[in-house]
Structures are given as C-alpha cells and as structure tokens.
Structure 1
Amino acid sequence: MTELIRVRPDAELDDVVDILEREGAVIVEDLADGVTLKGLWNDLGPVLDAANHCERGYDGHRTRRVSSLFARTPHLTPVVMQPLYLGSARRIMQKPVHMWVGRSRVEVVPTIQISATQAIQIDPGQGKQPLHRDDSLHLRRHPGPASRVQLMLAMTEFTAENGATLVIPGSHHWDDETPPRYEEASPAAMPAGSALIWLGGVYHSGGANTTDGPRVSLTVSLDLGNLRQEENQYLAVPRDVVMTYPEELRRLLGYDRCPPGVGWFEMQDPHMVLEHESLEQARAAAALIGPEDR
C-alpha cells in the first residue's frame, strides 16, 4: 500500500501535474474554504437527505447519490475553477494533436468539458465498491493518454473506517489485463474541505463504511471535449441557470467547440446560442457570418 501524496492549495502547478502523471492521484488539502463548504451543504444537504438509496449494487445499496449539481448550487464554481484542479486538467489533457489536412500539417488543441457531477453519501453498513477505472466509460484502452481528470471533495471527514475513496496509485500505467486488488489500494483519508484529484485511468472505489455516521462528498469530472459527456449537462442545467455562470464555466458545461470541429452550431461556436435571446436569433446571426469567417 502506497501513501497518497498531499499538497497545499498554493503548491506549484508543475509539481501537481508531475505527481498526477507519475502517481495518478494527489490530495489537495483545504481546497475549498468554509464559506464554499457551508454553501454546498445548504444547497445539497436537504436534497441528499431526501434521496433514496441506490438500487444498483454497483452504486451502493446504502449509498445516496444526487446529480445535476450545477443546476442545484452555484457554490460548486470555485471548486471546479480551483487552479490546481482546472490547471492540471488543462495541462494534462489539452495537449497539441497533429494531423494532415491536404498538404498542410495542422496542430490543434482539444478543449475540456465538465462530464459528470454527483453528491455522494455513503451511509453506515455500505460495503466496498468494486475497483474500477472511470475512463472505461469511453471504452479506453490502457496505458494511454489521459482523457479524464476527476475531483472528489470531502464534505465530511474521510477516514479508512467511514468509506474514504480507495485508490491504487500508479495503476493508470497498467494494461487492461492486470486485475486490481484491494490490498494495493490506499484510502484517501482527509478532512472536510480537502479533495482527491485523480486520472480517469486510475483504479479506485468507494470504501466500506463501518462507522455509525455517513461519509459525504461530491465529485466532478473533466473530460476531453471530443468525447460525449457522461452526464448530459444540456438537460441537467437549465439555460437560465447556465446564464448565471461566467463564460469559462459555460464553455466547460459544453457550450464550446472542440477543435477541429466537434460540437458546432450552424458551423459556428455554440456559445453564440447563449449570446442571443432565442435559438432562432442565434441561427439568424450564424447565417450572416460569411464563409471567410467560418
């Protein structure tokens, strides 16, 4: 069992990227401040209390899950925009890709996007979740370039006894024929407000809760912009709520075009839909843009 590396929020981005690419996971202590945590609890706590336990064994029969978080709370914004998380995701995934277009060798840089959001409450009596890789969602083969960088924010203290996320450091370097074992996993023990950041190819799972209190967290994943989002953010977050967020977050929610051309609207940047009162106005504006501007 290898102890997970811990850093402070003022750590150098280069160092955090190096840790993630080498170990696959890192704990950032005090990633969210008290004001952010309180806001998240006020918005999401009652929703979690009202949620039923999951029906599928994989999701946990003693686990409550709530999605569509950007429609439920504005307090998730500073968590996603935290420089070590968003910065690492951009550095690790937004790497230039070369291709030939006719006789020209073109370099493009992909975008990234928010893929899935969930608040998760592991109640007493929940057993260990099966070890898995989150990027298997996109049928990825390993080892290979990272296509997901994920964050788990501790809303309550995480301990080995109450279900702290189990992580196998370095497992993103493994091939697809090497099975994971719990004996190789380390618990991401951390106080409330701290966060685990890990790559999509790392084997991990929810731990078993053998205490008499719940373990509560929320998770956000950032994926490459050319992949389909795990959670359909266009349905999860109403337009009027999307409009309350800054442009960078709107684009992270999917209102962006990934080079060389994934996600366009009328052959234009889809963010223009949010810049007009209606879809019809946006379509009319797109029609006025000449071929030389496309």
Structure 2
Amino acid sequence: MVNLVKLDGAVASIDDVISVVDRDGGVIIENFLTPEQLCGMRNDLLPLIEEQSTGRDVFFGMNTRRLSALFAKTRYSADVVTHPLYLPAARHFVCVPQHRWSGESFMEVTCDIQVGVSQAIQIGPGEGGQALHRDDGAFFWSRKFGREARLQVMIALSDFTAENGGTMVIPGSHRWDDERKPQIEEAIPTEMKAGSALLFLGGVYHGGGTNRTESEWRTGVTFALDASFVRQEENHYLALPPELVASYPEEVQRLLGWSMSGRALGWIEVDGELSDPNFLLKPLEKSRALAS
C-alpha cells in the first residue's frame, strides 16, 4: 500500500508538489500555515464551528459540524487560496491549454481558476467513516475527459490521526476509470500535525475517517480551486456580499468568481460590450478607501 508523501512546506518547491501530486493524486505539506496563520484561523473559526449543530445525514456526518462561507469568517482564507504551493499547483493541473478553431485561426485557449468551496469540518467522537467518493462528482466530472478540474486542500487545525478521523485517501485513484469501485481496504488515513495540509486532486477517492476517540474533535478546513468552466459548488455570489468581496485583493476577488474567464464566460453587458464583472467592485473599493 502506497503511503502519502510528506513535504516540508518551508523548503519544498512547487515542482516537488506537482511531481508528487501527478503521481499519487495527493501530498501532505507540513508547515503549510505559519504559526500566526494557524493561530489566527483557530481564533476566527473554532468559536463559530462549535456553535454549529450536528446530524445532517450519514454522508455529511451525524456527529460532524460544518461551517461554510469562510471568506466571510476569516481573512486568512485569502492566504490559503493564494498559497505559493497551492495556487500554482492548481493552475498546473486545472488550467491545461486547449486548442480550438475560430474561423481561420487555430487558437490556444486556457481556462481560469476559481474557488469552488470553502468549509470547516469538525468530526466528533464516535463518528463513522464517510463513504469514499470523488469531490469532482459535484459537477459530474468524468475520467473520460482526460484532465482534472479541481485541486483541493484540507488543512489541519487540530492534529489528524488514524484514531480521530484523519481523512482517508486512496493514493493513485485519480488514474482510475469511472467504473472501478473504491474499497476501504485501499484507503489510508491522513496523519499530520496542525498547520499541515493535504493537497489532493478532485479525482482522488477519499472520505472523512472514523473517529474512535472518546472526547477528541478533529478539525480541518478545506478549500477547492476549480476550473472556471464548472459551476462553483458553494454559491459565493449569494454567500458573500459584494462589499465583502471588494475588501479583498483583486486576485482573490477573481478567484471568488468576480471575473470573465477566457473569452466569454461570466461576462456582463455594459454599453453594448461584453465586460469583465470585476469592474463592478471598483466603486465599492473606492468607497471603502474614502471611508478609511
């Protein structure tokens, strides 16, 4: 059985990350968060997630708490999605150039990238293991497409162990076809210290682990970076007010979907022209600057 490779985020290069993820479908990056970022995310999110109820259903967990719209709850969300070992890796796997005819031109086109989901997940004592699944199933992706549409990160806010529900992963399963059934015997638990992160492709079979402890809650924070041509799993347009989105740097605004992708995805009409919707945030940015 193949174990998950661990890389030290303090010294690993983006090429190291891409090489391991390409082969295994996932990699653990130790020291993904700085101590300040880890402390900040804990302070921002733990009081909020502890207020959430449990018991939605078996798949989402009968003793599991979930908290979404994280960009409205912690500014450290921006640090995660722009992390130098995460965002470039996502672009490598997701933004694969394609060639298309347009009249007499054989054009190279490349999609953009966007945040598909943001969620804190806290698995409680006695919670059973989650069904093994692929997260890109949310937008009906298929291995027949021959490419990936998501790179996800699961960050440990508390230590992940085999006993407390560390995410179960089947390394290499991103290369399986759509028909092969995952078996729990093929999955291994993600074991990592708080502040570390698991990066994994949308085509990797995984699931929350069984929490066999008597009193330990396992807390993780997950974000997904997806191809801009699939629908965002979490509807950021409704979850995040424009005023809040405008308070983030433009790179993050665009990752949240306030952009026109490629030649004609997500445009709005302004004075008869196809325009980038990001300009709608500029007056809000100006208002914030004047108010400060």
TM-score band by shorter chain is over 0.9
Q: Which stretch of structure 1 is more off in the superposition, 229-238 or 140-149?
A: 140-149
Shift in Å at residue 277 of structure 1? 4.7
Structure 1 residues 179 and 271: alpha-carbon distance in aligned structure 2, compared to 1, 3 A threshold: same
CA–CA distance in structure 2, aligned partners of residues 244 and 39 of structure 1: 18
Cross-structure match for 1:178: 180
Structure 1 residues 242 and 150: alpha-carbon distance in aligned structure 2, compared to 1, 3 A threshold: same
CA–CA distance in structure 1, aligned partners of residues 55 and 114 of structure 2: 27
CA–CA distance in structure 2, aligned partners of residues 85 and 68 of structure 1: 20
- Give the TM-score taking structure 1 as reference length: 0.92
CA–CA distance in structure 2, aligned partners of residues 41 and 18 of structure 1: 31
SS in 1 for 2:254: helix
Shift in Å at residue 57 of structure 1? 1.2
The Cα offsets for residues 103-136 of structure 1, whole Å up to 9 and x where unpaired, read as: 2111111100001010000000100000000011
Q: Of residues 218, 222, 227 in structure 1, which corresponds to 2:225?
A: 222
Q: Which stretch of structure 1 is more off in the superposition, 167-176 or 100-109?
A: 100-109
Counterpart mapping for 1:47-126 below 5 A: 47-126=48-127
CA–CA distance in structure 2, aligned partners of residues 126 and 182 of structure 1: 16
CA–CA distance in structure 1, aligned partners of residues 39 and 16 of structure 2: 30
Are 1:239 and 2:242 matched, yes or no? yes
Shift in Å at residue 276 of structure 1? 2.7
Q: Of residues 262, 265, 269 in structure 2, which corresponds to 1:259?
A: 262
Q: For the Cα contact (< 8 Å) 2:259–2:277, is it kept in 1?
A: yes
Cross-structure match for 1:156: 158
Q: Which runs of 5+ in 1 are unaligned?
A: 279-294
Letter aligned with residue 252 of structure 1: L
Letter aligned with residue 106 of structure 2: R
Structure 1 residues 277 and 80: alpha-carbon distance in aligned structure 2, compared to 1, 3 A threshold: closer
State the Cα RMSD in Å.
1.2
Give the ranges of 4+ consecutive aligned residues of structure 1 lying more than 2 Å apart after TM superposition. Answer: none
The Cα offsets for residues 46-92 of structure 1, whole Å up to 9 and x where unpaired, read as: 11111000312110001000000001110222122111111100111
Are 1:274 and 2:289 matched, yes or no? no
Q: Which stretch of structure 1 is more off in the superposition, 183-192 or 9-18?
A: 9-18
CA–CA distance in structure 1, aligned partners of residues 95 and 55 of structure 2: 35
Residue identity over aligned pairs, in percent, reads: 46
The Cα offsets for residues 198-227 of structure 1, whole Å up to 9 and x where unpaired, read as: 000000000000112100010000100111
Cross-structure match for 2:4: 4
CA–CA distance in structure 1, aligned partners of residues 100 and 82 of structure 2: 31
Cross-structure match for 2:132: 131
Q: For the Cα contact (< 8 Å) 1:54–1:65, is it kept in 2?
A: no
SS in 2 for 1:259: coil
- Give the TM-score taking structure 2 as reference length: 0.93
Q: Which stretch of structure 1 is more off in the superposition, 193-202 or 82-91?
A: 82-91
Q: Which runs of 5+ in 2 are unaligned?
A: 286-292
Q: How many residues align?
A: 278
CA–CA distance in structure 1, aligned partners of residues 247 and 263 of structure 2: 28
